[in-house]
Amino acid sequence: MEFLKILGIEAENYGAATGNNWLKTTSGDILGVVSPVDGKNVGNVRQASSESYEQVVQTAEKAFLEWRRLPPPKRGEIVRQIGLRVREYKEPLGSLISYEMGKSLQEGLGEVQEMIDICDFAVGQSRMLYGYTMHSERVRHRMYEQYHPLGIVGIVTAFNFPVAVWAWNAMIAAICGNVCLWKPSSLVPFSAIAIQKIIADVLKQNELPEGLFSLVIGKGSVIGETMLSDIRIPLISFTGSVPLGRHAAERVARRLGRTILELSGNNAIIMTESADLQVALPALVFGAVGTAGQRCTTTRRLFVHETLYGRVKMALLKAYKSLRIGSPLDVENHVGPLINKAAVRVFTQAVNDVTAQGGTIIYGGNVLEGEGYESGCYVRPVLAEAENHFPIVQAETFAPILYLIKYKGPVANAIELQNKVKQGLSSAIFTSKVQEAEEFLSCAGSDCGIANVNIGTSGAEIGGAFGGEKETGGGRESGSDAWKAYMRRQTVTINYGTELPLAQGVRFDL
């Protein structure tokens, strides 16, 4: 395919790089990548070995010593150039993401735009790494806080956002003075390889050292575990499932390192009796079926007031029947495939569990076959009537399954139901009453890291800090003051007098 050639993706590729330098030392294991779009092999990757990992880390350590001394606005200038270069490759990169991962071309292009946007954001942030000043209780003393870079930031990303989540972390970490080591999902390595090649040109043109942005593609049991235990990596940003995130947190905590965790979401929308259905419907459908339900912010539960339930159910049925399912490279299609056949099996089991636990499938649930569906990864999105306490509803199924749940009485009842899950990422309410919206946003309202009014659960903008509570992990990435997570905080006290008074009036006379 033409976009593979443009991006420098070959039939055989190496899985470790320090910038422009692609390391030839490999583990000997070949990673073959199959597209969920058509079931064809995208290409092969020679996975990184322990030896190549060590070389990458040592190179990154040296690069950090130089990069940290560059003034933050100068670092921002490099990130600005990266954003400009990515703009030049938006079309082929968006196509690669769509083909390798299976999300729609529009979403693939949107993900590239998200990377461009975070570059722009980071450029501005590079001039705003602010600390506080405060008054000292001691005469002729001054106090302030400042922030310094950490060193190597390890970034472990999931398959569903092959480049955007890395960019959230890497661009912010870079302007803070850190160097970045990226381990992408083995399901989507070519998007990472393409990005590595794009940014390597910028680093070379600016005569910057190898190791600022490094890549290691390899087995989690080898490369992943080594990263988690490596004391040379003070911060690991991990995106993935709760079990893997818990394991990562425990391994890093054992060496007293830091983690940013972005784990699962069991996101809900509340529709009160005053909700505007015309406004809500597109958000409901896109939130539930966008990226074939494989977003951490996918809408999975829908709480509808009993007075509105019948109308909402019929409107959703009509909308779901109009969905076009097929190749995501065809812009006319709404829904692409799941990432692989293992995901299809999880989807099928979840559909069976719904009925076994007392729910009703009112639409969808089958695996599609025939022309255009040869990969075996296409499914028909599900609408199901269920109860919030069902075990399958309490779990996060990474697939397009939307549970319709009726509630009665005031909005507080729906909020209570929404919060009765272990996850706490994204949430939304559709209402025309300011009292209901404010109740949802209050300390007694949504317990999620993201709370929206009259928009859906997915599609977060980069300007706000992204992340959630409870089993979602508590991490924050991207905008707002998320940059502080990539730096070490230092409190400074300066005595510009000729005496040495102690704090709290303590006397120590010699």
The one-character DSSP state at 335 is B
Considering only the C-alpha atoms of the chain, give the largest distance between any 2 of them, rounded to a whole number of Å: 91
Taking the C-alpha atoms of 413, 418, 422 and 426 in order, what is their torsion angle to the nearest 10 degrees? -150
- In the block, residue with structure tokens 């509808």: 304
Beta bridge partners of 493: 143
What is the pLDDT, as a whole number, of residue 310? 98
136-190 pLDDT per residue, tens: 999 999 999 999 999 999 999 999 999 999 999 999 999 999 999 999 999 999 9
For residues 484-494, average pLDDT:
98
Catalytic choice (262, 439, 471, 477): 262
What is the pLDDT, as a whole number, of residue 176? 98
What is the pLDDT, as a whole number, of residue 36? 98
228 band by pLDDT with thresholds 50, 70 and 90:
very high
3-state secondary structure of 323: coil
For residues 203-213, average pLDDT:
97
What is the pLDDT, as a whole number, of residue 510? 83
Q: How far is CA 313 from CA 258, 275, 324, 389, in A?
A: 45, 14, 19, 20
Over the chain, what is the mean pLDDT? 97
19-70 pLDDT per residue, tens: 999 998 767 799 999 999 999 999 999 999 999 999 999 999 999 999 999 9
**Predicted TM-score (pTM) above 0.95:** yes
Torsion angles phi and psi, residue 366, rounded to 5: -95, 155
Q: Is 443 tagged catalytic?
A: no
For residues 480-501, average pLDDT:
97
**DSSP codes joined into one string, 141-175:** EEEEEEEEE-SEEEEE--SSSTTHHHHHHHHHHHH
Catalytic choice (119, 296, 377, 448): 296
Q: Is 262 tagged catalytic?
A: yes
pLDDT surpasses 80 at 414 = yes
> Parallel, antiparallel, or unpaired for β 267-271 and 299-305?
parallel
Residue 287 contacts residue 298 (beta carbons within 8 Å): yes
281-291 pLDDT per residue, tens: 999 999 999 99
What is the pLDDT, as a whole number, of residue 277? 96
242-298 pLDDT per residue, tens: 999 999 999 999 999 999 999 999 999 999 999 999 999 999 999 999 999 999 999
